[in-house]
Amino acid sequence: QVQLVQSGAEVKKPGSSVTVSCKASGGTVSSYAISWVRQAPGQGLEWMGGIIPMFDTTHYAQNFGGRVTITADESTSTAYMELSSLRSEDTAMYYCARGFCSGTKCYRDTFDIWGQGTMVTVSS
C-alpha cells in the first residue's frame, strides 16, 4: 500500500521560504495527481495547488498570489511544495494528498491517500 511520507516540522521567520517534501513509499507519484492542502490551527481545509507529474501540469489556488510552487521528481517519487514570502497567517499543517483513481478514471480533486502532515510555524 502506498504511503505519502512528508518532511518534518519547520519554524520559519516572516519573509522567508519553506519547502516541504512528500515521498511516495511503496509506489510512484508519476501516474497520479498530487495536491497540497493546508489547515490553519482550528480551521478548515484549503487547497493550495496540484501537479500531475506524468503531464507536467500544475494548478495553483489564486489566493496565494504566486507564492506557491509545486514540483515533482519522478526519479525519487517525491513531490515538493515551496511557499515563499511567509507571513504569520501561513502557520498551518500542510498535507500532500494523492488524487484518487478508480479503474481507469483518475481525479485531480479527490484525494484517497494523505501524508501525515507537516507543521509549519511562522514566527519572528
Partner 1 sequence: QSVLTQPPSVSAAPGQKVTISCSGSTSNIGNNYVSWYQQLPGTAPKLLIYENDKRPSGIPDRFSGSKSGTSATLGITGLQTGDEADYYCGTWDSGLSAGVFGGGTKLTVL
- Binding footprint of partner 1 on the chain (CB under 8 A): 35, 37, 44-47, 49-50, 59-62, 95, 97, 100, 102, 107-112, 114-117
The DSSP annotation for 15-31 comes to: T--EEEEEEEETS-STT
Are 109 and 52 contacting, i.e. CB atoms less than 8 angstroms apart? no
Cβ-based nearer residue to partner 1, 37 or 72: 37
Find the shortest distance in angstroms from Cβ 23 to partner 1: 15
Find the shortest distance in angstroms from Cβ 86 to partner 1: 21
DSSP state of 88: G
Find the shortest distance in angstroms from Cβ 62 to partner 1: 6
Are 27 and 2 contacting, i.e. CB atoms less than 8 angstroms apart? yes
The DSSP annotation for 62-84 comes to: GGGTT-EEEEEETTTTEEEEEE-
Cβ-based nearer residue to partner 1, 53 or 115: 115
Cβ-based nearer residue to partner 1, 19 or 116: 116
